[in-house]
Structure 1
Amino acid sequence: MEEKFDSKHWGNYFQSLQMKYYALLAAPLFLFAIAFLRAENGNAPLMRLGEQMEIYFLGFVTFFAFIVVLYLHFFVKNRNNSLARDKDLTKKLALYRKTALIKYVGLAIYQILIIFTFACTYHNGIMGLFTALLLYASFFRPELQTIRRDLKLNKEEYQQINYKA
């Protein structure tokens, strides 16, 4: 049986989800700022890699980033499609939160690996890769409209969770 919650409950739900999202976005960004400032101050990279080894290292990290993002994207998309068929809105949104957190924790962990790579090499391409992952995360942030689209909510369900109205 589906429970009816008021707009305050859904406002708290979205606030909690977004705070976790922004925390998982900010932590790697803070670490990246430290690594970037170390590079700008002329500090030596954490490791000295030969040119050939650096190319392999950067290639592996970049290729693996592509694989991780594709996996997380399609994992979340498939899981949300299966959640969309569920009739219980509270269950649907609870599982959506878990799925979103899996995605953003995975991205945060991989961003930390990219920061470590940047600290080891100070390669500009890694800065671009980190920025691309930040942009990807920002395009799919958990907002009311994103959840409506991802879970294919009908008009009644959307009105029930629309805490802004």
Structure 2
Amino acid sequence: MKKHFLAYIFIGFALVSCGSDEDSLQKIDQKLQIFMKDASGKDLVNPTKVGSYSGITWNDELAPTDVANVNFSRQMLSDSTYYMEYLAGATRQLVSESADGNKIYRSEILFSLTKKISDTEFAPVETDTLEIFYRLNPSVFEVSQVYYNNVLQFSKIPDQPNVVTIIK
């Protein structure tokens, strides 16, 4: 009986630990897909094409050090369109907090862009600023707005992906 009792306790703990309370989970939605195009719709993130930005670096402007690279990845869709995917990593600064627990945070990222003007020549580095605002409450932490060079480029639509298209 002692052998079975221990097995029953183990199974009971396993069942209790597998239970979940969906209401207590916080939804996290901070993945950004950033497309960059010119006025005619040409992809500017393709690293090999002349006229596109072959060199792109991101720097965290709110970090305690001057040089604080922010990780992102350059991804490609099935139609060969490139975009930059950002998950997290930049410093978040508290902007406001309300009595009901809602908070607004912001991140500021400096883009350094090097355009390929021929197979062997590159234009001088351009710098732009990306500002991301996040909304936090007990049920969700999500990107709420994105500004590029102080121009609103994205506002969150519930249950939609965070896709930002920048026209340069």
Verify same fold: TM over 0.5: no
| Higher normalized strand content (fraction of residues) | 2
Q: Higher helix proportion, which one?
A: 1
Which structure exhibits the higher relative contact order, with contacts defined as CA atoms closer than 8 Å and separated by 6 or more residues?
1
TM-score category (smaller protein): under 0.3
